[in-house]
Structure 1
Amino acid sequence: MCKKIRVVKKNIPVTAYQTTKHVDIKTLEGIMHANPGDWILTGPKGERWPVRKDIFELTYRIID
């Protein structure tokens, strides 16, 4: 049996913008839909994904 350990996600800066319209985004998991007010994030390797506004506000902190 494997021992479970606790981990914390590394702080990796990503870029983000808030969309004002419905957008379909090609992600690593396939096509995902973003609604007006959702955030579109781009990671360090160019990968993109949408994040709902409420989840973004709980999870991310704007640094500039």
Structure 2
Amino acid sequence: MLKFVQDQIPKLDFKKAKKKPISIKCVQIDEPFEVETMEGRMKGKPGDWLMVGVNGEMYCCDAAIFKKTYDLCTDEK
């Protein structure tokens, strides 16, 4: 079985990929919250985002990670 360790990128033939631009639903929550995810219960901090994925799954996203990886859509599509 292969094992990979954080911060030790293996010498493999990696390719580049871009995440598809798929819109999801999200809302920023201003108080501590919990959400039941597919992996179990997840806790969000004030300012974190509650996300609803393409299959209706819910999860939370740290506010700093959201800022780095998401842009809010200006249209309603």
The TM tier, using the shorter chain, reads 0.7 to 0.9
- Alpha-carbon shift at residue 3 of structure 1 (Å): 4.6
Give 5+ residue unaligned stretches, structure 1: none
Q: What is the aligned partner in structure 2 of residue 63 from structure 1?
A: 73
RMSD: 1.3
Q: Which runs of 5+ in 2 are unaligned?
A: 1-11
| 1:4 aligned partner | 14
Deviation string for 1:3-49 (max 9, x for gaps)?
53221111110011011111111111111000110011101211111
* Larger Rg belongs to: 2
SS at match of 2:19: coil
Alignment partners' CA distance in 2, 1:41 and 1:49: 5
User: Is it true that 1:32 corresponds to 2:42 in the alignment?
Assistant: yes
Provide the rounded CA distance (Å) in 2 between the counterparts of 1:36 and 1:63: 22
SS of structure 1 residue aligned to 2:66: helix
Structure 2: how far apart are the matches of 1:55 and 1:10?
17
Which 4+ stretches in 1 moved above 4 angstroms? none
Q: State the SS of the aligned residue for 2:65.
A: helix
